[in-house]
Amino acid sequence: ELAELAAEQFEHGVLNGKRVFITAGPTREALDPVRYISNHSSGKMGYALAEAALDAGASVKLISGPVTLTPPARAECVAVESAEQMLAAALDGIDCCDLFIAAAAVADYRPVDVAEHKIKKGSEEIMELRLVKNPDIVATVAGLAEMRPYTIGFAAETRDVIDYARSKLARKGLDLIIANDVSNPDIGFNSDDNAVTLVSADAEVSLPQASKRRLARQLITQIAALYSRTDSSTS
Amino acid sequence: ELAELAAEQFEHGVLNGKRVFITAGPTREALDPVRYISNHSSGKMGYALAEAALDAGASVKLISGPVTLTPPARAECVAVESAEQMLAAALDGIDCCDLFIAAAAVADYRPVDVAEHKIKKGSEEIMELRLVKNPDIVATVAGLAEMRPYTIGFAAETRDVIDYARSKLARKGLDLIIANDVSNPDIGFNSDDNAVTLVSADAEVSLPQASKRRLARQLITQIAALYSRTDSSTS
């Protein structure tokens, strides 16, 4: 009933005039021209949030890793592969961004060396792969000194979900974090459903399992409410 | 003109009564519940070969890694993720298999340890990943002592394509190898087109660029011709 109530309460103008950047999908980190490291993110949550933000009146830039979804026609879409490309697209025009929603599952690490040609299989039974840490996109945005947008991250965890989310919120300097438990096969990666808990410095709001589309509308409603408390331009 | 001629010459009965196994798509090798190593294979070539083999009268088992294609309704389809799962599916019923076509892009290596929970990003700038060699599916099938099918591999290379293909043919004990140059963005991975060279111990046949669907029919025609020369049951 809570979910339905929140869905009913979705208002179309709550993000009128706001510029929203949303990252979505996985990143792919090339090992060579054919191989890569990636993850199971389908992009569904980020795309649903883009749709809901548009419905709420925002102008949306959707920065997406490789997914099989069709982007909303009304969004400005930027297709990227790697975390470094995603960061560049995120920072491009960030001074006009009011809300930054980092729904992408960015690879934490990328190979140190990207081979120009396909790596030939050697005779070695064991191979060592050296990886280097990727830039932290949401922390970079949250750490901007000037014109910093209201910055929202995700925490996809398989255990101690709320604890990890709260520590991530503090460590990365985020305004809000949306936590979900990806160990539950009914929700999360590749699933059509999700269930999340919004965690801010002074609030914790759980939204029960619903379709990603419905949940996205609830999330945008909650995000707009929390954001309006901090948005000096509308106060 | 050569391509069109070959396409015209496609005969529907050339694989009548034959059992064909086809592997397709990439494999995914898990790092933890959300991350994996994979490659850019779309599965289009393998799926097109399955369709063409069915049209040529074969009964087809299509063993596919994760792709977004719809499998042909008349094929027996087995969905797998990892190389080890693909090998198990390939060996299941192999004693009834007449032709084995290994069109999948199998990951050469998989992580030594698969973490049960999502790996937390540490503070380390550099991470070492230990990988262990995967089973070589097509070489395993080609090396079967009894009831070995006519075994066909692929060589997706970015340079010295024919040389690598010929050395792979010998090293893995294959009957035939289908070589293509994936450094050409017009063909190969994720492209709708392909251009290949068939390489056997005593032959080399080049098929010019064509849609994967058309090329698959030409390949099945060529494969059936080469196979019939070796098939004792029909001689």
Nearest Cα to A22, choosing from A59, A66, A71, A61?
A61
pLDDT of residue B64: 98
Tell me the pLDDT band of B230, cut-offs 50, 70 and 90.
confident
Distance of alpha carbon B6 from alpha carbon A55, whole angstroms: 53
Interface test with B, best of A29, A31, A39 (most B CBs within 10 A): A39
Average pLDDT across chain A, whole number: 89
CA distances from A7 to A52, A140, A177, A227 (A): 11, 32, 20, 19
Any catalytic annotation for residue B39? Answer: yes
Average pLDDT over residues A135-152: 96
Distance of alpha carbon A170 from alpha carbon B142, whole angstroms: 56
* pLDDT tens, position by position, B145-188: 988 999 999 998 888 889 999 999 999 999 999 998 877 777 66
pLDDT of residue B114: 80
Q: Which positions in chain B touch A40 (Cβ < 8 Å)?
A: 34-36
Contacts of A19 (CB under 8 A, 6+ apart): A58, A59, A61, A96, A97, A98, A99
CA angle at residue A16 from A12 to A21, to 5 degrees?
105
Interface test with B, best of A29, A106, A127, A184 (most B CBs within 10 A): A127
Average pLDDT across chain B, whole number: 89
Q: Which positions in chain B touch A190 (Cβ < 8 Å)?
A: none
Q: Are A128 and B129 in contact (CB under 8 A)?
A: yes
Q: Beta A35-39 vs B35-39: how paired, if at all?
A: antiparallel
Q: Are B69 and B55 in contact (CB under 8 A)?
A: no
pLDDT of residue A61: 98
| Chain B closest-CA separation from residue A57 CA (Å) | 33
Query: B217: which 2 tokens?
Result: 């029919």
pLDDT of residue A1: 46
Alpha helices in A102-154 (DSSP H): 137-142
On the question of pLDDT at A182 being above 60, the answer is yes
* pLDDT tens, position by position, A83-126: 999 999 999 999 999 999 999 999 999 999 887 777 666 678 89
Nearest Cα to A40, choosing from A190, A225, A209?
A190
Q: Which positions in chain B touch A25 (Cβ < 8 Å)?
A: none
* pLDDT tens, position by position, B22-67: 999 999 999 888 889 999 888 999 999 999 999 999 999 999 999 9
Interchain CB contact of A184 with B (< 8 Å): no
| Chain A closest-CA separation from residue B26 CA (Å) | 10
Using the beta-carbon criterion (under 8 Å), do A133 and B118 form an inter-chain contact?
Answer: no
**Within 13 Å of residue B152, how many CA atoms lie on the same side as its CB?**
26
Distance of alpha carbon A222 from alpha carbon A216, whole angstroms: 10
pLDDT of residue A158: 80
Using the beta-carbon criterion (under 8 Å), do B121 and A133 form an inter-chain contact?
Answer: yes
Q: Beta B19-24 vs B99-102: how paired, if at all?
A: parallel
pTM for the model: 0.82
User: What SS3 class is residue A20?
Assistant: strand
On the question of pLDDT at B3 being above 60, the answer is no
| Chain B closest-CA separation from residue A29 CA (Å) | 9
Interface of B with A in 112-141 (CB under 8 A): 112, 117-118, 120-121, 124-133
Query: B19: which 2 tokens?
Result: 């059992």
Nearest to A118 among B38, B68, B157 (CB): B157
Q: Which positions in chain B touch A133 (Cβ < 8 Å)?
A: 121, 124-127
Interface test with B, best of A118, A120, A163, A171 (most B CBs within 10 A): A118
Tell me the pLDDT band of A77, cut-offs 50, 70 and 90.
very high
pLDDT of residue A231: 65
**Going along B50-170, which residue ranges are E strands?**
59-64, 76-79, 99-102, 109-111, 126-133, 150-157
Which run of H or E residues covers position B134? Answer: none
Task: Point out the least confidently predicted range of A99-113, A179-193, B137-151, B196-210.
Answer: A179-193
pLDDT of residue B27: 97
Nearest to A37 among B37, B41, B159 (CB): B37
Using the beta-carbon criterion (under 8 Å), do B129 and A125 form an inter-chain contact?
Answer: no
Distance of alpha carbon B76 from alpha carbon B5, whole angstroms: 31
- The interface pTM score, or ipTM, of the predicted complex is 0.78
Interchain CB contact of B38 with A (< 8 Å): yes
pLDDT of residue A3: 52
Give me the phi and psi of B215, to 5 degrees please. -60, -40
Using the beta-carbon criterion (under 8 Å), do B131 and A127 form an inter-chain contact?
Answer: yes
% of chain B with per-residue pLDDT over 90: 68
Contacts of B153 (CB under 8 A, 6+ apart): B102, B138, B142, B168, B169, B172, B174, B176, B177, B178
Dihedral Cα B209, B86, B90, B170, nearest 10 deg: 60
Q: Which positions in chain B touch A159 (Cβ < 8 Å)?
A: 117
Options B16, B39, B184, B190, the catalytic residue: B39
Q: Which positions in chain A touch B159 (Cβ < 8 Å)?
A: 117
Tell me the pLDDT band of B189, cut-offs 50, 70 and 90.
low
Tell me the pLDDT band of A176, cut-offs 50, 70 and 90.
very high
